[in-house]
Each structure stands twice: as C-alpha cells, then as structure tokens.
Amino acid sequence: MKHLLLAALLFFTGAVLRAEDTATPSVDELEAQFKAAMTGVTMTGRWFPVKDGVVGAEKEDKYNIVSVEKVGGSSWTINARMRYGGQEAVMPIPVQVKWAGDTAVIIVDHLKMPGGNAYEGASFSARVLVHAGTYAGTWSGGDHGGLLNGLIVKAAPVGGDGKNGSNGGGAAN
C-alpha cells in the first residue's frame, strides 16, 4: 500500500510539474522574431577575459546593433555601430544563426579583423545565445578569449539631432 501511495503521488506531482506543451514556432516565425528583437537595440552587460584557463576581472560590455539581415540559409549580417581604429562606423559582421529550440545561437567563425590596431590579423570566433531579452556566450581570438552576458534593450527613439545618445560600442577588448 505504501508503494502504491508513493507511485500515485509521484504520478500526480509529475503531471503538475510537467512543462507546458506548446507548439514550437516555425523557422520563419523564429527568424522574424529574431530580426525584430535584434534591430535597433543595445546589448549591454558584462564580459570576463579568459587567458590560459584563468577567468579575469569583470568588465562592462556594450554593442549597438543597428539591424540584422538574413543573407540566405543560416547566414546573416549583423550591422553593428562600433568604434574601431579611432573611427565610429556601422560595420557589417557576417554570422551564422542556428536554432536550439526557440533560442537563437549567433555563431562567428574565424572572423579576421582588418588592420590598423592591436587586433590586426587576429581571427575571432564566438557563440552567443539570444533568448528573452538576454544574451550569454563565449568568444576567442588570438591568444585570449572571454565570457559575456547581459540584456538586450531597444534603443531610445532618435532625437532631433539624428543621434540616439549611444556612445558606440563593441567589445574588441
């Protein structure tokens, strides 16, 4: 009798705690949601350098995303406003976007940095999860890398001066 009571309790508890069954959105729906969520946003958070297996001190992280565009298949371009080599510009960054269920995974594979600064010729790779207004991931480049995470926030409306008050961004630190 004790075993029967325990089995009934586990059965009913499992039924109550079971994840809600929901239909998975189609790839087209996921891509439309991703594009809307990643257009006109600032990704702001923290990153931690990792070198020789040691995690370093936390630093601020900021990326201003102007837009994202699907190129074809899983290929996308992220148009990010960045400061690079003393100049601010919108830079097209080629990425892959894959899906883990309803979660976007941004993949950068061996992206070479142009010349003119300390990162000249370095090859960078990253994996960044994007879900529910947050991001988290890892990156590597040259002889170091890091961990990153934060919030994705819609940019403030553009003011009369044509600027939205952002200060650029990008984390090629």
Domains and CATH numbers, the chain: 25-154 (2.40.128)
Least confident of 51-55, 81-85, 121-125, 146-150: 81-85
Q: What pLDDT, on the 0 to 100 scale, is given for residue 112?
A: 86
Q: Nearest-CA neighbor of 126 among 149, 103, 152, 156?
A: 149
Q: What pLDDT, on the 0 to 100 scale, is given for residue 24?
A: 82
Question: How many residues are given for the chain?
Answer: 173
Q: Give the tens place of pLDDT for each residue, 86-139.
A: 889 999 999 999 999 999 999 999 998 766 555 667 789 999 999 999 999 999
Cβ neighbours of residue 131 under 8 Å, at least 6 residues apart? 102, 103, 104
CB count, 10 Å around CB of 172? 15
Confidence of residue 172 (pLDDT cuts 50, 70, 90): very low
Helix intervals (H) in 66-172: none
